[in-house]
Structure 1
Amino acid sequence: MGAAVALAAGMLVTLTPTAAHAAAGATLPFTSVEAESQTTTGTRIGPDYTQGSLASEASGRQAVRLSAGQRVEFTVPRAANALNLVYSVPDGQSGAVNVYVNGTRLTRTLPVTAKYSYIDTGWITGAKTHHFFDNTRLLLGQNVQAGDKVAVEATGVQVTVDVADFEQVAPAATQPAGSVSVVAKDADPSGSGDSTQAFRDAIAAAQGGTVWIPPGDYRITSSLNGVQNVTLQGAGGWYSVVHTSRFIDQSGSAGNVRIKDFAVIGEVTERVDSSPDNFVNGSLGPNSSVSGMWIQHLKVGLWLTGNNDNLVVENNRVLDTTADGLNLNGTAKGVRVRNNFLRNQGDDSLAMWSLYAPDTDSSFENNTISQPNLANGIAIYGGTDIAVRNNLVSDTNALGSGIAISNQKFLDPFHPLAGTITVDGNTLVRTGAMNPNWNHPMGALRVDSYDSAIDATVDITNTTITDSPYSAFEFVSGGGHGYPVRNVNVTGATVRNTGTVVVQAEAQGAAAFRNVTATQVGAAGVYNCPFPANSGSFALTDGGGNSGWSSTWSDCSTWPQPGQGNPEPDPNRNLAKGRPATATGSQDVYTPGKAVDGDANSYWESANNTFPQSWTVDLGSSYAVRRLVLKLPPSAAWGARTQTVTVLGSTDGSTYATVVGAQGYRFDPATGNTATVSLPSGTNLRYLRLSVSANTGWPAGQFSEVEAYQTS
């Protein structure tokens, strides 16, 4: 069976292996539920892709903001006894949220804090304050079943809730026979005392065997080194917790290190690249493994240098790092990084960087990556015979793609891509971002001859790209040197709802495309404009079986805006559907986004008993809008009514002009509860505002859908 993962708001999708390739992503012990898909008394925010905005870093680019006393209630998707919550609070604030199970408030609360958020990295060009979200967890103390209700409620601090992970945590494991317990060496499981020396003594005593970390909280004040030929094992990541910002720091090891089944939680609150504030910094040595770990609040999960040949990193969670989740930093051979979950990294979630010597015959396979907020989901910087297989990446932000295959060197001596680079079976959801340094986007999957030509064979197969805000495949020489991108083969790709183009070609070189199908293309099939100008052309070879992306963006002086076709691919489409909506007020759960969610049965209702009230939608680009369709729920329970509405428009979101003056529009369930508004010819607007000054059926403004069309 495939892994159940949240791909979009409220949608749990099970990815099932096919004969061609395995399912994308990790098999996870928890199921995630998006807050914006659940019942709430708070306010839904997003969707938003604007760098530096809170919603842009949320899963699905949407979340729910709760003020004191407001809550979001989750329908539990599976049997569970534990909850992990992804949240954000305003900068500088801390507090707690109440938790309710089937209406009964738990004694324990979930702590929330901005301590580990709001990271500034001014030395990274194009970076803004980022890393807004954090993770907090709680054992519920009882079992809940699928269909039960678990609610979280804000108390003294405003909380924005993004995702809830529900998990059935197994009982704590017991001590292996013959192992050396750190408690027997005087470690303090209460966390009060310093257990550093106890860990060192246990490692020395257990050479060739196992160090046991019983349930408890242990504080380590300096890093461990000389770790080799030993297993470090805990009772499980929810039970055995080591509190330290530097766990292992060593330049070399004889290897045969096994680290498994406990948590390492740090206190890293900023990114300092010169400090080894990492779970592992350096080398574990050959034939080592890391599995079943919960790694959180560190700079980097694993920053791997030296000999890490045949290392296996699997079944781990890496959360809330201020930089990379894992970086294989040169020289390693035969490394396998598989079935891990990574969320909220402040740089690349998974990276191979071939500094000093190439990473060789190594792979990232079946990993699930969510919300890297300053770089790529997966990045391969150089290396020989590398594979990226069956990964699921979602919601990249700012300076990153879902997957980047690149010759960006950063430092010398660098070893460029060589041999065959295999990129197979990956799924990318809402990946790619506007690069503030280039002033144009990075694609969901990017091949980048940044500092040197790409001469390796790059085989990209069986790829699914969904809801990319900009392009699907990008070929670029990002350093501005015009180096070629060659020997690329794209075979068997499905592209759905890409914001601008399917192929963004900005380098000289060539790629062949076979069986690449696209639907709902925002602007055109291909943007083929060299960067820098006149640096050479890019040849796209049609290998057959391609469909849905034959058109070419004709004007290289402008970058197409999302959904702005040339010509418009579907002039009959509803421009407002799914776009960000706001209002002067809303009543309970009847929030502004209900009027653009595509469901005529849900609706926005303004604050009651005060007029006028206005509702506004951002269409994303300026359009010649000719017609509006206003709806109320079609149920006969809605009595007929007349709403007095003024239509206003703006191109900048600041200055609004009246498009259609105040008029009464009749909504009658006998005729579908629908009213049509014709806009004057020549009306161009990006921001559409409806001001409601009266309603004969209810003392508020109400719309279940607002649809905007370019056709009259």
Structure 2
Amino acid sequence: MTDHRSIHALRKDRKVQAGATAAALALAGLGLLVAAPAHGSTTTAGTAPVGLTQVAAAAANASGAVLPGMTEYEAEGAQSTTNGKLIGPDYTQGDLATEASGRQAVQLTGQGQYLQFKLTAAANAVDLHYAVPQGASGKLSVYVNGTKLSTELSLTSAYSYISTGGIAGSKTHKFYDDVRLKLPSEAAVGSTVKFQVDSGDTALPYTLDVADFFDVAAPAAQPAGSISVVSDGADASGGGDSTNAFRTAIAAAAAANVPVWIPQGTFRITSALQVNKATIVGAGSWYSQLATNEFINNTSAVSGPVNLSGFAILGSTVGRHDDSTANAINGSLGSGSTVNGLWIQDTNVGFWLQYGNSGITVENSVVLSTDADGLNFNGNATNSTVKNNFLRNTGDDGLALWSMPAPDTGITLSGNTIVQPSLANGIAVYGGSNNTVTGNTIADTNALGSGIAISNQAFLSPFTPLSGTITVSNNTLLRTGALNPNWGHAMGAIRFDSYNSAFSNTTVNLSGNAIDDSPYAAFEIVSGGGSGYAVNGLNFTNNTVNWTGTTVFQAETTGSASVGGLTAANVKVAGSYNYGYPNNTAGTFAINQGSGNSGWSSTPVLTSFPSPSALPPTGPGPGTPTTAPPTTAPPTTQPPAGTDLALHAAVTDTGHTQNYTAGNTVDGDANSYWESTDNAFPQSLTVDLGATRTVGRLVLKLPPASSWATRTETLSVLGSTDNSSYTTLSGSAGRTFNPATGNAVTITLPSGTSARYLRLTFTGNTGWPAGQLSELEAYAS
């Protein structure tokens, strides 16, 4: 579920110069944002994905999924070489690098460009996580040990680029998708696999994020006595409609109390099946494939068990559909069901489990590129387990417990890996009682969510708030917690939110968790609905924090927590933010410190959000070798005409206010902006184009909103090839930004200008006592 909260006005919004009340602003809604894992290493066969379990183990948490035969390689990692363009790192909402695993990816922009991996484990199959431009589709060539395969990868944007206009603060997201390929033979350790743009591969640019290689076992044999769907007329070629054949086989198998067998092949299912009780078995998720958006739809409680194993559900949903049931597995599985070894991709939701589920186990499965949640227990679930699953690029929460219309009770989320939720939380517990989140690894989450959220946000009624004991233990969070897009509001890696009601009947025990490289605070305590409900019953024991962009604690409501054994290092801002709403007084949340704390303090008490001193480090995580990836530098030729040379370039400033950082000026989003330190002219922005380029003109923008009044900013443009000696390219002058004409200013530079570094120096602004800029675009002509 996406958190699109409303809250009190935390600061004066610089876009609104006059006339907007705090109450009106509160109605705009509030969302969150989150961040990324390590890269630069790979796993061996039988271990979990790179940068996830390995880093977790280094942090003394053996957390995350372990999928046999899977080895994951980052595009920017130590086993990769490329002559393409490395993008990132970035933390800007709605950006390709931001949504990439590790906040970095490689772009192939022309014929002959490639990304190559050297295998550290044998593999016979690969899944490539990629993005192509919106509306584009095409082929990409694959080479193994220098020999081009006869089969090319088919890439498409059809199931990406989701817009959710009804969710405040959301932008178009879920840029990436997945494509998988069985190799013609096993590639041994030391083999090279290359993805290259050849003649006819035209979906440029190709953005390649991560490749998951698999050593897939031989297909499973048909269980003795089982009924094959083919014997009832199913078409394994995928050409015919196999829906009725599946229905017939499932009914016959239920009557005979034997399994249903899905052999190798692709089977097209055109309408969902209602299944009261069954055991449905495939030859393996790389062999038995169902082409459908919705396989099972039990819209009322069934007796069960409905056991599912060894097949893939490959959907084709276009856009998010909260009003549909186009979820791979929807509704009830009954009692005692086991789901084991499924692969779900490109459906609306992976598992939406409601109407009564008891004793369910979902394990050893892969969920990729869904439009909304990966898995959600939507109330009425008891004593169930979700363990050892790998989820990536979900369009909402990775894993969620939502106690509507009845409580989820006794649920355990254990040993899962969740990467790149592109809109909401890694793991969210909305209400319910006696639930456990343990041993998971969460990384790379994005806007409108935290790494882990423990929340009383109801969304709909009837809702059951938190009660009993909630356990959050031994989880690893890598670069989680970021910037709320609605308010420029810093969000913590783990969030406790009394959104609709107080934490008054629950104890939340947090122990053994490791929070690494959070761009803002490690722990946030908030009442996101704006009513100031208290958060009590928090017990912190033996947690570790390594690197925060701001503080360890960010408390925004009343209540208390007991904290012992919390060790922190590399905390960038001293003290704690502790400013309770609605009291608007300092220190209203009590942080009661026991023994064993080090590296942080609850004092001084901060009453305004601190700006992060820097973004989190990139590259390998704690305990991982810091060897630089042997990535080949891209050619330094001039990019094609019309290219914004400054887009996603490195940029610095001499000062900024709150979270209005320099990075906002090169993110491609005119709605975000940089604002310099107030009342402190002169102030400068310096952008590094990455190589010396011919630059003919600059386009400067402010947000295209009617609430931005016309203003004139006095600024000059300087250029340099070495970041040391600068020459004036355009002298200091007033530049007028008028919303009626797009709030943009074009500056023409002298003919023949060559520069790698461009610097804007601001000395005045008639609209606000600071430099302000939303986009700095540079063009060759």
Aligned equivalent of 1:213: 262
Aligned equivalent of 1:184: 231
Aligned equivalent of 2:128: 85
Q: In structure 1, which of residues 36, 41, 51 is the aligned counterpart of residue 76 of structure 2?
A: 36
Per-residue CA deviations over 1:97-116 (Å, capped at 9, x if unaligned) read 11111111111111110000
Matches of 2:548 and 2:59, distance apart in 1: 24
Q: In structure 2, which of residues 291, 295, 311 is the aligned counterpart of residue 247 of structure 1?
A: 295
Cα gap change, 1:463/1:112 in structure 2, threshold over 3 Å: closer, same or farther? same
Per-residue CA deviations over 1:435-479 (Å, capped at 9, x if unaligned) read 123431221111111110012100011011111121111111111
Per-residue CA deviations over 1:273-320 (Å, capped at 9, x if unaligned) read 111001111101011111100011111111111221000000110111
The AA in structure 2 aligned to 1:156 is T
Aligned equivalent of 1:316: 365
Q: In structure 2, which of residues 567, 572, 577 is the aligned counterpart of residue 527 of structure 1?
A: 577
Q: In structure 2, which of residues 248, 272, 284 is the aligned counterpart of residue 223 of structure 1?
A: 272
Matched, 1:277 2:323: no
Matched, 1:54 2:104: no
Q: In structure 2, which of residues 39, 48, 63 is the aligned counterpart of residue 24 of structure 1?
A: 63
The normalised TM-score by structure 2 is: 0.74
1:606 positional shift:
7.6
Matches of 1:408 and 1:82, distance apart in 2: 42
Matches of 2:243 and 2:414, distance apart in 1: 34
8 Å CA contact retained: 1:405, 1:447: yes
Cα gap change, 1:664/1:56 in structure 2, threshold over 3 Å: closer, same or farther? closer
Cα gap change, 1:317/1:599 in structure 2, threshold over 3 Å: closer, same or farther? closer
Matches of 2:448 and 2:315, distance apart in 1: 26
Cα gap change, 1:17/1:410 in structure 2, threshold over 3 Å: closer, same or farther? closer
Matches of 2:359 and 2:313, distance apart in 1: 23
Cα gap change, 1:172/1:402 in structure 2, threshold over 3 Å: closer, same or farther? same
Matches of 1:41 and 1:601, distance apart in 2: 11
SS of the equivalent of 1:264 reads strand
Matches of 1:78 and 1:621, distance apart in 2: 47
8 Å CA contact retained: 1:609, 1:700: no
Matches of 2:115 and 2:629, distance apart in 1: 23
Cα gap change, 1:621/1:274 in structure 2, threshold over 3 Å: closer, same or farther? farther
Cα gap change, 1:651/1:576 in structure 2, threshold over 3 Å: closer, same or farther? farther
8 Å CA contact retained: 2:221, 2:283: yes
Question: 1:399-478 alignment to 2 at 5 Å?
Answer: 399-455=448-504, 456-478=506-528
Aligned equivalent of 1:638: none
Q: In structure 2, which of residues 308, 331, 334 is the aligned counterpart of residue 259 of structure 1?
A: 308
Cα gap change, 1:650/1:177 in structure 2, threshold over 3 Å: closer, same or farther? same
Cα gap change, 1:89/1:620 in structure 2, threshold over 3 Å: closer, same or farther? farther
Matches of 2:167 and 2:721, distance apart in 1: 50
Aligned equivalent of 1:512: 562
8 Å CA contact retained: 1:576, 1:619: no
The AA in structure 2 aligned to 1:245 is N
Aligned equivalent of 2:109: 67
1:609 positional shift:
10
Question: 1:161-180 alignment to 2 at 5 Å?
Answer: 161-180=208-227
The normalised TM-score by structure 1 is: 0.81
8 Å CA contact retained: 2:382, 2:409: yes
Matched, 1:234 2:282: yes
8 Å CA contact retained: 1:649, 1:656: no
User: Which consecutive residues of structure 1, in runs of 5 or more, have no partner in the other structure?
Assistant: 1-5, 565-574, 580-596, 625-647, 666-674, 676-690, 703-712
Q: In structure 1, which of residues 519, 535, 540 is the aligned counterpart of residue 591 of structure 2?
A: 540
Per-residue CA deviations over 1:654-681 (Å, capped at 9, x if unaligned) read 597578988998xxxxxxxxx9xxxxxx
Aligned equivalent of 1:342: 391
Cα gap change, 1:201/1:49 in structure 2, threshold over 3 Å: closer, same or farther? same
CA RMSD of aligned residues (A): 3.2
Matches of 2:405 and 2:465, distance apart in 1: 11
The AA in structure 2 aligned to 1:176 is P
SS of the equivalent of 1:8 reads coil
**% identical aligned pairs:** 50
Higher strand share: 1
Matches of 1:371 and 1:664, distance apart in 2: 35
8 Å CA contact retained: 2:61, 2:512: no
1:181 positional shift:
0.3
Cα gap change, 1:373/1:598 in structure 2, threshold over 3 Å: closer, same or farther? same
1:10 positional shift:
1.4
Matches of 1:395 and 1:111, distance apart in 2: 26
Matches of 1:502 and 1:21, distance apart in 2: 20
Matches of 1:577 and 1:659, distance apart in 2: 30
SS of the equivalent of 1:274 reads coil
Matches of 2:424 and 2:210, distance apart in 1: 21
Matches of 2:334 and 2:524, distance apart in 1: 37
Cα gap change, 1:443/1:137 in structure 2, threshold over 3 Å: closer, same or farther? same
Aligned equivalent of 1:156: 202
Aligned equivalent of 1:669: none
Cα gap change, 1:295/1:602 in structure 2, threshold over 3 Å: closer, same or farther? closer
Aligned equivalent of 1:372: 421
